[in-house]
Each structure stands twice: as C-alpha cells, then as structure tokens.
C-alpha cells in the first residue's frame, strides 16, 4: 500500500477560519479536520480526498498497528518554516483498538471499526499564532482549491437527547468504589450516555461549528465516514511525538481532576483554588501520571521518562481541570506507532491498573467505539499528535436523518461519592449538550 512520496512543499494563502473551510468539505467521506481553539490555539488542519484508506474491523485479523505504519511509509523531511503536520495518515482509533493488545474479548459498538484512517498527500494548515494559511504536502495546489469550496449555511443542531438513568450510574459508581476498597483496582473511569436525534436538516458539522464558536477547545476534531461522523471538542492531548535532531521525543498531557466554573469571578476563583488544593483530585491525577510514565517507559530510553509539570490548572468554558505532563525519548529504532501500541487506550479514560480497569468498565458500560479512543495524525516525517476523545459526539445516518450519542465519564477512586461523580459528568458534558440543543 505504501509508495514513495515527493518531499512536501508550501504555498501560503490569506487567513480563513478553519471550521468555515471544513464546512465546505464536511459531507465528503474522509473529510477530516483538527480545529485548535481557545487560549492555547496553535495549528489547525483540514484535509480531504485521500489517496488511500484503511479500515480495520473487529473481525479483521490484520495487525492494525503494522498496517498503520505501512500506510504512512518511510519518513520524509518537512519543508522548513511550515506546520508540524504536512501530510500523512490521520483518522480514528476506537477505544476497542486496545483489545488488539490486551485480548479481553471486548464487544464492539455496532458499525464502528477499530481503526479508520486515510493517507492525505496534502493538507491545509492554519497558523493561529501568525494568522496565515499554509497549503502543505506533495500537492499543495489541490489543497488550495479547498479554500474556494462554498460553505453551506449552518443549521441549529436542535437535538433532543435523553440520558441514561442517573440512579443506575450512581449504582455503578458505588460498585466501583467497593471494588477499589477490596483492592481489585485503584481507579476506573466510568461513563454515562446521552442519546437522541438531530433536528431536521442538521448535520454533524453544525455541532462542530457551534462548539468552535461557544466553547473552543485545543483538540476539537471532525471526521466524516460514509454514514457516520465523529465530532469532538476535546481539551486533552493523548500522545505527541516530535523529531528534535537527536531522535524522537514523546509527550503526553493526562487530565484528571475536575471542578465546575463559578457564576462570578470570585466563585470561579474559589472553585479553581479548591481544585488545586484537593487531595482527592491530585491523587487521581497522580495515578494516571504514574500509569502514563509506565506506558512511555516501555518504548523510551531508560531513565529518560520525566514529569516536568504536575497539576497545572487548565480552565475551559464549563470546567476547570488539573493537567500534568510526562515526556520521554523514544529508544533508537522505535517510532510513533510503537508508542501508540504501548500506550493505547489512554490511561486517563481507563484507570489503574489499566487492564483490570478495562475489565471493570466492560462489565458496566455499553461498548465505547469512538468514545474515549483517539483522533490522530501521523506525519510523513514520523511526527505524531493525538487527542483523547472526550467531549465527543458520534453520529449515524439513517433514513430519518442523523442519530447522535455522546458520553461523559468520571474517574472513580476510593473516596468517590456517587452523586458527586454523576454531577461531575453533567458539568463535563454541559457545553456539548448546550451546543446540541
């Protein structure tokens, strides 16, 4: 499947909002966008018209990680002064892709493959810091043409959603607390579902458009498949890999610890300071930091895994979070796909120990599919970046239009209060539900 690619070239164009450009492509299968927003907005990307696609269903015996590496092919240098991603493979790794590694026999969410990705020879890259658009890759002229696509007017999503029984969720949380106290696990992330149907004439891209306007996040993403779509407004990076001249540097930013935003500046500051001082939330975060350190250590040079940042406060439209950073240097001969294999699924949405937490989750939740998996980009240069698919909606098209489902989870530890954890899921999902309403 892999074939030689010409070295990437760059063409600059006038600034356009990435979400608006994506609207003009959004109904095409394999249209894909990464839309970075908020105070930490950096690079956004829009891509379409791939030259090769890869879907690995649950019953396909092929090794999806080897197939992903083969699709990307041999590493090429980047064009200087360009974006970190100048073409490559991008797409969706569903949560159950982790079953290829742990062999737990996890059921699948109907119709969703374990891996769905495509190879894009060129991309549109949006430099938020310098206010420029760059067409990059082997065929930048093709990407420039996407800027001229007309963008259909947005519709209100007008979705009507109903939540799973809140009492059942609290019962599940209480069960997990009991299993933690019995010593089976230390932490597990347990999620709730909201399901419904989009309004007449509304499309998945309408949700992304509204989220970008009302609740910008650093790792928002959109992927359109034939009769399915994923819209994510994630605040969380999973893993990133960057060449630095001496090899490949790995980086992850797990999120654990949550508090709602306040209604006044004073109340908001008090909630933020309370989160920073919370022993429960700090312990919850530290467990996942330790898990991610262990995952990185499996593929990094011994002694090179470090934690340069612990418990940074990150504030979003509806919640405050605690974020930590773990870094490492990949061992010689290993690349981004080796790190993905070592670390998937993300520790922040499984728990610790990871494998046993996944077993507990599978007994209490419906199959996750795209929820709590990852959207990723694997560049032709060997670089990699990815998000954790939280604050995410999944869509399925049928004769009546688009069905929509979304989920939110909470990290359960020994002193978790079932009602408090349920309220945390409602704080986390509030901005997405408001955008759908």
Q: Among all residues, which ones are annotated catalytic?
A: 236, 256
Handedness of CA 250, 52, 150, 24 (dihedral sign): negative
Joined together, the tokens standing for residue 168 give: 């059942």
Contacts (Cβ under 8 Å, ≥6 apart) of 51: 119, 120, 121
Helix axes 204-214, 418-436, angle to 10 degrees: 110
Joined together, the tokens standing for residue 222 give: 């959109």
Contacts made by residues 299-306, CB under 8 angstroms, sequence distance 24+ = 299/250, 299/328, 299/330, 299/331, 299/334, 299/338, 299/339, 299/342, 300/250, 300/328, 300/329, 300/330, 300/331, 301/328, 301/329, 301/330, 301/331, 304/328, 304/329
Distance of CA 101 to the CA centre of its chain: 19
Distance of CA 92 to the CA centre of its chain: 9
Collapsing DSSP states into helix, strand and coil, what is residue 298? Answer: coil
Distance from C-alpha of 425 to C-alpha of 415, rounded to nearest angstrom: 17
Joined together, the tokens standing for residue 74 give: 């041999």
Q: Quick check: 233 and 49 in contact, CB under 8 A?
A: no
Helix axes 279-297, 336-343, angle to 10 degrees: 130
- Shortest CA distance to 113 belongs to which of 375, 370, 341? 370
Distance of CA 125 to the CA centre of its chain: 19
Q: Quick check: 89 and 106 in contact, CB under 8 A?
A: no
Query: Is the omega angle on the peptide bond into residue 345 within 30 degrees of 0, that is, cis?
Result: yes
User: Phi then psi for 113, rounded to 5 degrees?
Assistant: -75, 165
Q: Quick check: 195 and 408 in contact, CB under 8 A?
A: no
User: Phi then psi for 243, rounded to 5 degrees?
Assistant: -70, 140
């Amino acid at each position: 499947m892999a074939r030689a690619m010409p070295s990437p070239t760059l063409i600059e164009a006038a600034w356009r909002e990435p979400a608006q450009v994506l609207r003009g492509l959004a109904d095409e299968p394999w249209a894909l966008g990464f839309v970075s927003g908020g105070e930490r907005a950096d690079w956004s990307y829009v891509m379409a018209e791939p030259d090769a696609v890869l879907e690995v269903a649950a019953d396909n015996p092929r090794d999806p990680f080897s197939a992903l590496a083969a699709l990307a092919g041999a590493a090429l240098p980047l064009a200087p002064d360009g974006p970190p991603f100048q073409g490559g493979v991008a797409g969706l790794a569903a949560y159950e892709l982790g079953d290829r590694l742990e062999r737990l026999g996890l059921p699948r969410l109907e119709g969703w493959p374990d891996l769905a990705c495509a190879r894009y020879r060129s991309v549109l890259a949006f430099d938020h810091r310098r206010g420029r658009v760059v067409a990059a890759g082997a065929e930048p002229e093709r990407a420039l043409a996407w800027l001229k696509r007309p963008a259909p007017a947005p519709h209100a999503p007008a979705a009507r959603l109903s939540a799973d029984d809140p009492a059942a969720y609290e019962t599940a949380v209480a069960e997990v607390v009991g299993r933690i106290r019995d010593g089976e696990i230390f932490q597990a992330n347990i999620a709730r579902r909201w399901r419904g149907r989009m309004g007449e004439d509304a499309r998945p891209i309408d949700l992304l458009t509204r989220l970008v306007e009302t609740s910008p996040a650093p790792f928002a993403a959109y992927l359109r498949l034939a009769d399915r779509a994923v819209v994510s407004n994630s605040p969380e990076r999973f893993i990133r890999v960057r060449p630095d001249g001496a090899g490949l540097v790995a980086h992850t930013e797990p999120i654990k610890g949550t508090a709602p935003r306040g209604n006044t500046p004073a109340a908001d500051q008090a909630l933020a300071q309370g989160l920073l001082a919370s022993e429960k939330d700090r312990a919850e975060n530290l467990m996942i930091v330790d898990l991610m350190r262990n995952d990185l250590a499996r593929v990094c040079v011994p002694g090179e895994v470090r934690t340069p940042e612990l418990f940074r406060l990150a504030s979003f439209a509806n919640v405050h979070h605690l974020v930590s950073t773990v870094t490492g240097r990949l061992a010689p001969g290993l690349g981004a796909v080796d790190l993905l294999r070592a670390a998937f699924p993300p520790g922040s949405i499984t728990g610790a120990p990871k494998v046993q937490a996944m077993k507990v989750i599978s007994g209490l939740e419906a199959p996750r599919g795209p929820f709590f998996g990852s959207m990723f980009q694997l560049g032709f240069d060997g670089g990699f970046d990815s998000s954790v698919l939280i604050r995410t909606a999944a869509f399925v098209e049928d004769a009546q239009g688009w069905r929509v489902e979304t989920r939110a989870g909470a990290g359960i530890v020994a002193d978790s209060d079932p009602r408090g954890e349920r309220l945390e899921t409602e704080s986390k999902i509030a901005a997405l539900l408001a955008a759908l309403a």
